Amino acid sequence: MKSKIVVIGFIALVVTISGCIGSSELSNNSNSNLEDNISNSNLKISNNSSHYDANGLCYHVVDGDTIDVDTVGRIRLVGINTPEKNQPGYQEAKNFVKKACLGKEVYLDIDNAKHYDKYGRVLAVVYVNGVNINKALLKGGYADIMYIRPSEFNPYSWTT
């Protein structure tokens, strides 16, 4: 546990030193447009928004709300919940996250109020090409809000 905190602290320091990377939000409710925006390599990240705490390559998608990132480990997308295996919508949510994240550089805004869930996964908002993947899953109908306090994020704001 202590080594994870040291690693996250080191990554945060490196990101802070190297500069800030911001985010841009999606503005369209269409599923196909969400997917197009995520995979659009011309979509640039704004330098005017919040800091990311870490970044790395997504090398495995566990399910619709859990991914593995080479530099951090297992990430639980905070504020949302997707269907579990053998539930309707499971494969669609997982496929969406695979298309959005797998093999790509992801940027993490780690929850400052609670860094880990009860399974030891890092709680974070995941960004790819400046797109908030947590929000995209909600907007696309692949996820529901799962707001558990304490959390610095308000997932209800992602539905407006």
Q: Which residues are catalytic?
A: 76, 84, 121
Burial of 113 (0-12, 13-18, 19+ CB in 10 A): exposed
Question: How many angstroms separate the CA atoms of 56 and 94, rounded?
Answer: 19
What phi-psi label fits residue 153: left (phi over 0), alpha (psi between -120 and 50 degrees) or beta?
Answer: beta
